[in-house]
Amino acid sequence: MKKNTKNTRLRFATLLPLIVFLALFLFGVNAGEPQRVLEQAWNICLDCIGIG
Amino acid sequence: MESLRKLIQVIATLLTNGYFLFPQTKNIYQGPLKLLCSPGLNCYSCPASTTYCPIGAIQQILLGVRFSFESGSYFFSSYVVGTIGLIGTLSGRITCGWLCPFGLLQELLYKIPIGKKREVPYVLRYLKYFMLIAFVFLFPLLLTNDWGMGKPWFCKYVCPAGTLEAGIPMLLLQPDLRATLGFLFYNKLFWMFIFLIWSVVTSRPFCKTTCPLGAFYGAFNKISFIKLELVKANCTECGACAKVCPMGIQFNKDEGSAECIMCMRCMKDACQFGAIQLTYGGSSLSAQQRISKNNTV
């Protein structure tokens, strides 16, 4: 019985962040953030690599 | 198992750094694959990089978040955090052990038989959480210049992967950039050499002390779908798991530790009693475990 309760808690503890991060991901996609990420990734970030 | 892991590490490194036309183009890859997240730490300004680095992308979005909001775009890195959050929830820190190119490099350096091998002081392991919270999230967001722009603090002042994979190669490809070198670059070069030399005498020092991505994934180790679990009934507390662990943890005393990179050496190479099993969503994936269970019935 105790083991079942622990397993249920663990499953909930896994599912909750999974749902939260999925919602965040979908919100970002809906807001058009992937395009922003793509534009950043196409440019060399001189600041990021210690130049400039 | 170790050979398989090494093979997967090499394949992952080649897939995330698979743009081999850069010597001709003298530029970075600018194709559609850069929409995909590199699961491990892999600088997206590396000429060969085919994917984006989540740590770099988070900082780049947060440092310009005011401009995004003013222009009516709600970009606060939810796409990137959502992506690595899903990876973390599904597999914990397994990415560090199996897919990270910088992790592979540190492992190879540790194989060099020079000097006495040492462990890092445990207190230094907390530094990576400071890196994640302050250098990746808070500083780029809050420490801004007169125009409201922040800086990519972790990439700019710390990341040795960026110097090794992008800074040095870009200087070789584009000699004009050498005129702009200054304190910033030499500071990053210093940290890169510190971590590379440290890797020869200590197993994965960057992962243990500084990696913000490892700190993020590690937070899910206790609850992730894929994880290593202890079968207490089988454990004899012999300590064999601690002797092979590249992260310096004793699994039976620290089950679900945020330090565990799930390389599975403890399960496959050390434990003779089937006390460590790989589970997915609560079900055992370890054949050895199932066999021993069947034998006892």
Identify the CA nearest to B231 among candidates B272, B179, B191. Answer: B272
CA dihedral sign of residues B95, B97, B99, B104: positive
> Where is the domain boundary, B218, B246, B270?
B218
Is the model's pLDDT at B55 over the cut of 50?
yes
Distance (Å, whole) CA B182 – CA B164: 17
In B, which residues are within 8 Å of A33 by CB distance? 61, 75, 77-80
B83 and B103 inside one domain: yes
Is the model's pLDDT at B50 over the cut of 70?
yes
Is the model's pLDDT at B150 over the cut of 80?
yes
B52 and B195 inside one domain: yes
B262 and B210 inside one domain: no
B29 and B82 inside one domain: yes
B233 and B212 inside one domain: no
Domain boundaries, chain A: 2-42
> Where is the domain boundary, B197, B218, B239?
B218
* Terminal CA-CA length for chain B: 28
Dump pLDDT digits (tens) for A2-35: 556 666 766 778 899 999 999 999 999 999 999 9
In chain B, the number of structural domains is 2
B200 and B254 inside one domain: no
Position B233: which residue type? Answer: A
Report the SS3 class of residue B138.
helix
Burial (Cβ within 10 Å: 0-12, 13-18, ≥19) of residue B117: exposed
Mark yes or no for CB contact B82/A25 under 8 Å. yes
B160 touches chain A (CB under 8 A): no
Mark yes or no for CB contact B60/A40 under 8 Å. yes
pLDDT confidence of residue B297: 43
What's the complex ipTM? 0.88
> Where is the domain boundary, B218, B253, B268?
B218
B290 and B236 inside one domain: yes
Indicate the helix (H) or strand (E) that contains B277: strand B276-280
Of A7, A27, A41, the CB nearest to B34: A41
B33 and B101 inside one domain: yes
Dump pLDDT digits (tens) for B81-130: 999 999 999 999 999 999 999 999 999 999 999 878 999 999 999 999 99
DSSP for B242-276 reads HHH-TT---GGGSTT-TT-----HIIIII-SS--E
In A, which residues are within 8 Å of B88 by CB distance? 17, 21
B165 and B53 inside one domain: yes
The pTM score is 0.91
Q: Which structural domain, as residue segments, surrounds residue B20?
A: 2-218
* Tokens describing residue B87: 């990876």
B196 and B237 inside one domain: no
B183 touches chain A (CB under 8 A): no
